[in-house]
Structure 1
Amino acid sequence: MNIVVLVKQVPDTGAERTLSEADHTLDRESADPVLDEINERAAEEALTLKETVGADVTVVSMGPDSALDAVRKVLAMGADRGIHISDDRLRGADVVTTARVLAAAVRTVDDVDLVLAGDATTDGQAGAVPAAVADLLRLPPLTHARELTVDAGRVRVERETESGETTLDAPLPALVSVTEKINEPRYPSFKGIMAAKKKPVRTVGLDDLFPDADTAGHLVTRTRVVEAVPRPARAAGIRVTDDGSAGRRLAEYLIAQKLV
């Protein structure tokens, strides 16, 4: 069984995040880069399947040179090989471009049975890349999985969203995106960290993935932030002292705000 897990390096979720003044994109130099925590859970699920049903795990990440650290961490956790997509032309790539590039990288892996990803990265929170990758690869998308099983050439997930819980089942190959509830990622062991240094990682760019494409008209960022302003400070609330008229005053306030 061949599994590809998609991961991303993001600014530390515990640090304050800011936007660059030049183009209003996320300033990735203002916080330490880390492997996205939900993608880490996708990697853990891939490694669990490797241990239980037997699998070969390839980790794929798109990002600058520093993103190689994210690939190496998953290799230290137990993945077998990595693909690092690095190209200056991908800076600020939107959802469509990101999905097309990731899908192209997945196609370079032979006989893929399962693609795993986090349901949304913590920097952009678009939540659309996994489904877009599945569409481009013509794979059934099983998204928002909190539990996953593979058996007899099929994958089955328990899906949880704000609207309810659903059981999804599809034949392999397929793509599954996972939520933070699916597992607790392992820590890389010292042995794993040392072994990761010897595992193969292939670095590719747009010219490798799309040798015949017109990158000027095909692989571009289709959206642009024209303005960004700080969130306004929270205003002080209104305190109502109950002198017997608090209920009426509260009702009047709710009506004035068109909340009732």
Structure 2
Amino acid sequence: MNILVILRMVPDAAGELLLTGDGLGVDREWLDFQLNDFDDHALEDAILLKEATGAKVTVIAIGEGTNRILQMAAARGADEVTALPCEEDELLSSRDLAATIVDLARTRSADLVVCGVQSSEDLFGQLAPYVGAMLDWPHISGTNRIEASGGGLHVTQERGAGVSVTYEVVLPAVLGVQTATKAPRYVSGSKLREASKTPIGKGERQASSFTQSASIEGLRIPEETGSAQQLGDDAETVAERIVAILEGNGIGRR
């Protein structure tokens, strides 16, 4: 089994966001970037499959700060790591990235492509569906358990409301991982130092076959117009304060 794992670097959601001068984008100059959480889980599932079946794991990363993330992937057990070029202020479009992933899957004879179910720049979770459609491979997103079964996989997908379904998947396939079968493993400092010697390949981006169907007209930072109050934990006191707040705003008895 040859597994291709996609890792995306995304802006740290806890960081302060500033807009570019034209109001059409986010100024990334001072942003910190981190590994997309869902992609981290996809990497862990790939490593677990390698440990269970002897599969080869190739990791492809894109975004700012990929080298340290690829070294981490090597320390966790990836066999080969490659960085894709990315413009400094580039928004990672799933439609644009899909063509490159498809090309890599074909040239590297992958029979399983895994990535996170979504990212902060792909909230609709479109990367895995696009790649699956372009390869004409079966695709499942929202997985929370992946196990080797004969020459294929047993894949559990979370449907919501406590309902899950398990599919028997014949390879090749594309999976969008929501939660890894086990929590992503901790990597020690000694393993990271050893992995720092791992050569990092340089990939090439492929032109997208999709045409742009929408554009950003403008962005703005939401204004803070409200506030919060702690009402305590005594029911009668809380009730009295709620009534007072309502009356103060012209609601309720006068």
* TM-score bracket for the superposition, by shorter chain length: 0.7 to 0.9
Deviation at 1:230, TM superposition (A): 2.2
Deviation at 1:10, TM superposition (A): 1.4
Matches for 1:242-257 after TM superposition, within 5 Å: none
- Indicate if the aligned counterparts of 1:71 and 1:82 stay in contact, CA closer than 8 A: yes
Deviation at 1:133, TM superposition (A): 1.0
Deviation at 1:9, TM superposition (A): 0.9
| Larger displacement relative to structure 2 (129-138 or 68-77) | 68-77
Task: Letter of the 1:233 partner, please give it.
Answer: E
- Indicate if the aligned counterparts of 2:140 and 2:176 stay in contact, CA closer than 8 A: yes
* Runs of 4+, deviation exceeding 6 Å: none
Q: Does 1:52 align with 2:43?
A: no
Task: Letter of the 1:241 partner, please give it.
Answer: V
Task: Letter of the 1:133 partner, please give it.
Answer: V
Give the corresponding residue for 2:140. 142
Aligned-CA RMSD value: 2.9
Q: Does 1:29 align with 2:29?
A: yes
Give distance in 2, aligned partners of 1:70 and 1:113.
23
Give the corresponding residue for 2:152. 154
Give the corresponding residue for 1:228. 219
Give the corresponding residue for 1:63. 63
| Larger displacement relative to structure 2 (196-205 or 37-46) | 196-205
Deviation at 1:42, TM superposition (A): 0.8
Q: Does 1:120 align with 2:118?
A: yes
Deviation at 1:222, TM superposition (A): 4.8
Q: Deviation digits for residues 17-66 of structure 1, max 9, x if unmatched? A: 444334633433333221112111111111111112211110012235x3
**Percent identity between the two aligned chains:** 24
Deviation at 1:125, TM superposition (A): 1.9
Select the residue among 243, 246, 251 that pairs with 1:241. Answer: 243
Give distance in 1, aligned partners of 2:212 and 2:72.
29
Select the residue among 131, 140, 143 that pairs with 1:133. Answer: 131
Task: Letter of the 2:130 partner, please give it.
Answer: A
| Larger displacement relative to structure 2 (175-184 or 32-41) | 175-184
Aligned length: 234
Task: Letter of the 1:3 partner, please give it.
Answer: I
Give the corresponding residue for 1:176. 175
Q: Does 1:9 align with 2:43?
A: no
| Larger displacement relative to structure 2 (30-39 or 129-138) | 30-39
